[in-house]
């Protein structure tokens, strides 16, 4: 599913759905961008039960993802995926706007 050019992959939606089922009803996954990390910006994933008036809501297969308007500008065109590889299982953001990123994929620069 796509909203404001942010896509949630089937793998990510499945994992988000599994995670949300263990949380209190009404819990959503908030994806945001904040300053910091080794490359200038970093992705942040939090459980949130409060939807802001200007949040963008992305739903797919039972997964509900919130993105605030400021983060939306940094995430436009991105794909949220879930990867289980040698360095561990984690959500990853494949961001075409990022000009550089760290090795673990949690921070980036534009």
pTM: 0.82
The pLDDT of residue 2 is 42
Q: How high is the pLDDT of residue 79?
A: 94
In the DSSP assignment, the letter for residue 72 is H
User: Which H or E element spans position 10?
Assistant: helix 10-21
pLDDT in tens, 14-72: 999 999 999 999 999 999 998 876 667 888 999 999 999 999 999 999 899 999 999 99
CA distance 16 to 1: 14
Write down the CATH superfamily of domain 2-109. HesB-like domain (2.60.300.12)
What number of H helices and E strands is found in the chain? 2, 10
Give the pLDDT of residue 89: 81
């Amino acid at each position: 599913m796509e909203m404001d050019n942010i896509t949630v992959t089937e793998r990510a939606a499945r994992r988000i759905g599994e995670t949300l089922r263990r949380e209190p009803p009404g819990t959503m996954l908030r994806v945001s961008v904040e300053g910091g990390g080794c490359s200038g910006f970093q992705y942040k994933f939090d459980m949130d039960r409060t939807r802001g008036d200007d949040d963008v809501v992305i739903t797919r297969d039972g997964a509900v993802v919130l993105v605030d308007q400021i983060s939306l500008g940094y995430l436009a065109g991105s794909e949220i995926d879930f990867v289980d590889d040698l360095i561990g299982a984690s959500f990853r953001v494949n961001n075409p706007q990022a000009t550089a990123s760290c090795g673990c994929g949690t921070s980036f620069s534009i």
